[in-house]
Amino acid sequence: MKQIKVAMVGQPNVGKSSIINAMSNARLHVGNFAGVTVEKKEVRLQKGEYDINIVDLPGIYSLNAYTPEEQVTKNYLLYEDYDLIINVVDANVLQRNLILTLQLLDMNPKMILVVNMIDEVEKQGGMIDAVKLSELIGRPVVLASAKEKRGIDDIIDLVIDEYNTPKERRKIFYNEKIEDEITSLQKILLKSPHFTDEDRARFYVIRLFEKDEDVYKEVHDLPIFLEFHEALGKSMHRLQLEFDEESVADIIANERNSIAKSIVMQVMQAPRKESLTDKIDKILIHPIFGLPIFLFFMWALFQLTFEVGSIPMDYIDETVTNFADWLKGILPPGDFNSVITDGVIPAVGAIIMFLPNILILFLGINLLEQTGYMSRAAFLLDGFLKKFGLQGKAFIPLVSGFGCTVPAYMAARTLKNPKDRLITMLVLGFMNCSARLPVYVLLIAAFFPTHSAGNVLFAIYIGGAILGLIVAKILRIVLFKGEPEPFVMEMPPYRFPSMKALAMELWIKTKLFVKKAGTFIAGAAMIIWFLSSYPVNEKLVTTYEQKIELAKSEQEKTQLQNELAAKNLENSYLGEFGKAIEPIFAPLGFDWRMSVAVISGLAAKEVVVSTLATLYAVGEADEKSSTLITKLRQNVDFKAAIALIIIIMIYSPCVAAMSTFYAEIPQWAWRTFYTIYPNVLAWLMAFGVYNILALLGY
């Protein structure tokens, strides 16, 4: 069996995953790239005597990588072993996508160009000449539609043909002056034993013209570096004078744009009639109705998140409780039994019961992205964001923040202006990440009527976003004076989402969530159990055990057992810690248990729920409500619950997110500011709302 390793590359949203899903009899493996939390998808399939392994690399706009995902793709293309590239482009935006194609052709690899979504172009009366396109770029071309499974089998056949064909000659060249400079520098690099391939030497020269730091570091350690560095400076100076440009990178970029435009003019017949996308855009990005429609979609999403997601909650809670009771009867009595059945299982169960809500929220966001509506939302909010001192492209990390703050901080790398990037990162914490959703759902279920739950959840998310915008405006006026840079974004056509791709994304998110609940949160639960179980006051236990033996009814026994549990908890390490920090939170109406839960939320926001479950889940709940909701209603008043929601909404994100911010922003002044200001603001706002509600009689 012959092995063929293929790298699948393309810009974001070109349909790479859809093509992989359309490949019949393929085995999909999902994991992470080594050393980074970037998703890795691989497909293995067999045809004849060939075993083909296709690695679906994260989307990348160009080899000038800015995000961790783009860096992973770039590193893979430059340093990993593979036999050929499948470059996927979107037929609707062919010229823009060909920019990356031309960068890949700089390496002169074995490559196949897959023009996806050709059906959408043809439905509008357009056409692409695949034969002519293949002649111009010197590589095989497939016109494909993942939705219609058109051209999918041709891709596999061409992979085998290309693998068995000698490397083809280069057909794409730049301006003669640029090529002369490339050739002269290429000869210097080839003096080094490090370079045995002319194509690689040529590619490195082009990358150095574009100021690629990774390539520069590699060349810097070579013996010929001094000679090469001097020659590179002279070449760049000559090109700057020749083209009257300050940057050689801009010269190369302009060349690629010109080549891409020329290719599209020769191979593509543009659609003749008004597309369905144009008709829909007249409504959805209408200058007056566009924004209210977007807000309605978001409101509907949060209604669904709560109304539908709450249906299975009691069933999951009951199942977890029954499982813990069953296990308690099987395991031998003692500390191990207690830590598993009283600590880990209730804590993990308290998180898993919110899985339906989180999946519905992810499904909604994925639908917005796959249909092409997300970029319309960015367009609608561009002018709005500028009023608050944010750059238009900040919408991308801000929306990412509703999923997880860690990738949202990384997505802020796309903001080139340092001020715009920093101000965006400082307010990303106000975008409520999915980890906070379980806390909100729990508190809303406990303190608000069911019919208004979706509206309350929507208000929390919108309130956090509005507060973030207000803070951004204040920061822009006080600390970041000046206007944000303008931004341009090309909008993809609307398309029906792939059900298979949606299902796959939700499956991956479910696995990651359950893995997190089963490891990190379980570990945190064990620590909290230990701190809440020790030290044991033997004298107190003996006294209560004697009282329990003498109790005349089951109700009296249960009451005494609950009293013993409460006093043991109060005298534990966790109780002592909670009492030590209680004065900080007492003005907000928090008892020591809520204070401990807030602190534990700095590890991960989901842990707030599991901590409350550990600290409050004593005694039995009635059959109509979960144990934890019942205990919260008994122990927490309404205004303290609202103060807790405000704290969760504003204070510092989890340790992972804070670490990411520190890694992205090296200045200690901004790190210190970022660490302090949201916590002070959270306390002050919670204090203000708590006292306003007290005056109103709550």
Annotated binding residues for GTP, as ranges?
A: 10-17, 35-39, 56-59, 116-119
Give me the phi and psi of 404, to 5 degrees please: -155, 140
Residue 697: exposure state from Cβ atoms within 10 A (0-12, 13-18, ≥19):
exposed
CA separation for the pair 39, 256 (Å, rounded): 30
Helix (H, G, I), strand (E, B) or coil at 127: strand
- How far is Cα 41 from Cα 86, in angstroms, rounded to an integer? 14
Residue whose token pair is 């945190």: 524
CA 528 – CA 347 distance, rounded (Å):
10
> In sequence order, what are the beta bridge partners of 141?
113
Contact indicator for 9, 61 with CB cutoff of 8 Å: no
Alpha-carbon span 211 to 522, nearest angstrom: 46
Q: How far apart are CA 148 and CA 167, in angstroms?
A: 31
Q: Are residues 314 and 347 in contact, defined by beta-carbon separation less than 8 angstroms?
A: no
Pick the closest to residue 92 from 375, 420, 456 (CA basis). 375
Specify binding-site residues for Mg(2+): 21-22, 24
Centre a 10 Å sphere on the Cβ of residue 452 and count the other Cβ atoms it contains: 12
Kind and range of the H or E run holding 476: helix 453-478
End-to-end CA distance of the chain: 74
Structure tokens at 477: 């006026």
Q: Provide CB contacts within 8 A for 206, sequence distance 6+.
A: 106, 182, 252
Positions at the binding site: 10-17, 21-22, 24, 35-39, 56-59, 116-119
Output Rg (C-alpha) for the chain, integer angstroms: 30
CB 200 within 8 A of CB 79: no
Nearest to 415 by CA among 439, 436, 389, 434: 389
DSSP 616-657: H--SPPPTTS-HHHHHHHHH--HHHHHHHHHHHHHS---HHH
